[in-house]
A and B are shown apart, each in its own frame.
Chain A
Amino acid sequence: MSTAPLTALNAMPPITRRVRAYFAPVDRINRVASVFDPSVSGQFSLSAPPSPWIDLGWIEDFSRKSLSKFSGLTTGSPGVTQFQVKETVDASVSFRFKTWSKLSMALSAGSQHMNLLAPAAGAAGNGSGSKGITPVSLAPSGSTATFLSLNAGGSASFTAGCMVAVDIDYAGQAGFVGTGVSAAYVQSAAAVNNDPDYIRRVTFNVARVTQVTTSGLQLAQPLIGGVPSSTMRVQPVLGFVDREGGDFFQEWSALFVMPGEQGERILFYYPRLQAMGGAEEAATTLVAPIERIALSAAFRALPVTDANDGQQAVCFRSFLPSAMTLI
């Protein structure tokens, strides 16, 4: 078999107008980042990223910096640089999330990110939310990532349109907690007042309820933790809160995509990102005094080992050329 010859095009500069961000959880317990393989998934549909990547939409003010340090190894007299050495490998990335959500807010917060549990009657006030109302247990079976099956009468605590947190009770364990995503690190049971709601207070396993039925709650979006276990319980959530303070570092894998105007694509894959600043916002004036408020985010890239050659790297940049351009 033979093909007709095609005419190659001269290389063109990539021209893009926007950057799209995707994030995926890092397994903090086993220290395993989410992998993005550009040879397998590089041309994925931007609105349907491969699992476990979560689409966080178009971002703005995207900026990458290499902070790696190089220096010369000098010998002789007079000294002449004979070799170069890499002193450090370091990189940062910053941008602004245009929309606020549980995930974008948590990523930019730089510390624990909490759910504001619907407060119990008479609970003492607290800056990050007071004690929540009694959670509702899931039914032994029937739940999916988008449907919470409840026991008879369990639906009465919820209304269509409400938000819920779904996770297990805190039971005195130390270490990373949270289903699907390591949402916090518990030093000791005493540090969190042995609060059975603590994991639901920090969990990323949250969703909006679109319908309440006698058998359970239909969710508008799948839970990040997938199908919930029957030991989980559900509590209504009113909103989210983060703090300037706290000692926890969120850690996420990130992927940024610049789609080119000629079909080319530039991808930046950061296996491990940790926030390198506290919570900040940036305002863009629409018509004074109306402003759009974006979430500012800045991250330091941490290393993984490249399985191809054992080298450590903090970021992978891929380029998928447009069709028929010279390379």
Chain B
Amino acid sequence: MENAKDTFYITLRNRLSTVNPNRTMILRAVTRPGILVEEAEAPVAELPLDVFVLRWTKLDADTQLPSTLTQMTCEIQYATAGTQNNAGLDRGRALEAMDDELLRLLCPSSAQKMNYAQTPASQMGTLIFWSQAVFEPATTVRERMGRVVTVSVFAFQEQGER
């Protein structure tokens, strides 16, 4: 399952660097594409603005197949306060831009599964694939306007894979 989660994240990260190379963040003193996996970073009280945050939640597995089919739910959270130049009055537009970027990141809805636990990363035998994005209603907390998008990510467990 870890390979599927890694592959999903890195696929989206690589696509983001093409879709919007300007959406970057500085994390641990390194400038990176503006997307992160919550469980792989230090806990924070409040998620960063203008960044896609992946949170893995539910897990289901169909074990009655020769290869177990796992279904993992990924909540993609993002929020924005707009830009300082516009005093945050463009936060609706900024959120819409992130909505559009996310749709483009999720298309096409499959990727070759990779093993990133070794260097160099190695290609595995199956593909991961995911469902259409389900957009929750936008929420507003003070200056922050955000949204949660849910995606189900599917992957077959390969022989010897954890």
Contacts and interface: CB of A to CB of B under 8 A. Distances in A.
Interface string A124-136: 0000000000000
Given A286-B152, A286-B154, A290-B154, A98 B65 contact: yes
A99 B65 contact: yes
A152 B44 CA distance: 65
A48 B69 CA distance: 22
A51 to B, nearest CB: 20
Interface string B95-114: 00000000000000000000
Contact of B64 (A18, A286, A287, A288): A18
Interface in A69-108: 98-99
A58 B154 contact: no
Contacts of A18: 64
Contacts of B140: none
A289 interface: yes
A98 B71 CA distance: 17
Interface residues of B, number: 10
Contacts, number: 26
Nearest to B60: A286
The 5 A-B pairs at the shortest CB distance, nearest first, are namely: A287-B131, A58-B64, A287-B152, A57-B66, A18-B64
Interface residues of A, number: 12
Contacts of A288: 131
A3 to B, nearest CB: 39
Interface in B35-72: 64-66, 69, 71
- The majority secondary structure among interface residues of chain A is strand
B132 interface: yes
B66 A289 contact: no
A292 B132 CA distance: 16
Interface of B: 64-66, 69, 71, 129, 131-132, 152, 154
Interface of A: 18, 57-58, 60, 98-99, 286-290, 292
Given A286-B152, A290-B154, A98 B131 contact: no
A86 B68 CA distance: 46
- In this complex, which of A57, A287, A288, A289 has the most chain B Cβ atoms within 10 angstroms of its Cβ? A287
17 contacts: A18-B64, A57-B65, A58-B64, A98-B65, A99-B65, A99-B66, A286-B71, A286-B131, A286-B154, A287-B71, A287-B132, A287-B152, A289-B132, A290-B129, A290-B152, A290-B154, A292-B69
B126 to A, nearest CB: 14
Given A98-B64, A99-B66, A290-B131, 13 more contacts: A57-B64, A57-B65, A57-B66, A58-B64, A98-B65, A286-B71, A286-B131, A286-B152, A286-B154, A287-B71, A288-B131, A290-B129, A290-B152
A288 B64 CA distance: 21
Given A286-B71, A286-B154, A290-B154, A58 B65 contact: yes
A36 to B, nearest CB: 22
Contacts of A60: 64
Nearest to B73: A287
A298 to B, nearest CB: 21
A245 to B, nearest CB: 31
Nearest to A58: B64
Contacts of A57: 64-66
A174 to B, nearest CB: 38
A25 B62 CA distance: 30
